[in-house]
């Protein structure tokens, strides 16, 4: 069971669409669905080990950018797992940045 559909948001989108392109003014929404998206408090993904569970490496929280950034994210994750020097500074992506 997902979150409720934002019908008002969908209607706004449809209104904007038909305002920009009148050919769409008679379009009917046939079906709507809402889902969760993985996003962290500062919108940067989590890439790296989780100190509380030895051996666990997490790569998540890409919000709307996980396809485009996946090659670089995968490389950073592999470098951290293999304990080699990362090409980029991993600090902004470490899970530990959220630790109290
Ligand atoms: C509407 C929308 C548009 C987007 N557009 C873009 C875009 O234009 N460009 C871009 O770069 N990114 C875009 N993204 C983001 C991109 O889709 C995600 O960042 C990317 O898919 C994340 O990949 P992932 O492998 O980390 O997670 P997912 O693709 O979410 O994969 C996780 C998988 O784990 C499975 N899973 C979850 N829990 C369990 C469990 N307990 N046991 C077993 N399996 C489990 C899920 O079923 C899923 O298959 C968009 C996302 C959305 C929602």
CA gap 52, 66 in Å, rounded = 25
Q: What is the pLDDT of residue 82?
A: 96
Q: What is the pLDDT of residues 11-69, one digit of tens each?
A: 999 999 999 999 999 999 999 999 999 999 999 999 999 999 999 999 999 999 999 99
Does residue 99 surpass a pLDDT of 80? Answer: no
Q: What is the pLDDT of residue 2?
A: 85
Q: What is the pLDDT of residues 5-24, one digit of tens each?
A: 999 999 999 999 999 999 99
User: Phi/psi at 26 (nearest 5 deg)?
Assistant: -100, 10
Q: Which atom of ligand 1 is nearest to the CA of 68?
A: 11
Output the pTM of the full model.
0.81
Contacts for 61 with CB less than 8 Å, ≥ 6 apart? 38, 39, 40, 44, 45, 46
Is there an atom of ligand 1 within 6 Å of 74 CB? Answer: no
Is there an atom of ligand 1 within 6 Å of 37 CB? Answer: yes
Pairing relationship of beta strands 57-60 and 46-49 according to DSSP bridges: antiparallel
Is there an atom of ligand 1 within 6 Å of 62 CB? Answer: yes
* Mean pLDDT of the 78-99 span: 94
Does residue 70 surpass a pLDDT of 70? Answer: yes
- Residue whose CA is at the smallest distance from ligand 1 atom 17: 66
Q: What is the pLDDT of residue 100?
A: 62
């Amino acid at each position: 069971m997902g979150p409720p559909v934002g019908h008002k948001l969908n209607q706004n989108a449809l209104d904007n669409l038909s305002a920009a392109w009148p050919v769409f003014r008679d379009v009917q929404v046939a079906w709507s669905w809402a889902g969760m998206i993985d996003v962290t408090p500062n919108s940067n993904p989590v890439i790296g080990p989780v100190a509380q569970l030895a051996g666990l490496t997490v790569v998540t929280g890409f919000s709307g950018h996980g396809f485009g950034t996946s090659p670089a994210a995968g490389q950073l994750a592999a470098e951290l797992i293999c304990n080699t020097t990362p090409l980029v500074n991993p600090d902004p992506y470490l899970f530990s940045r959220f630790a109290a």
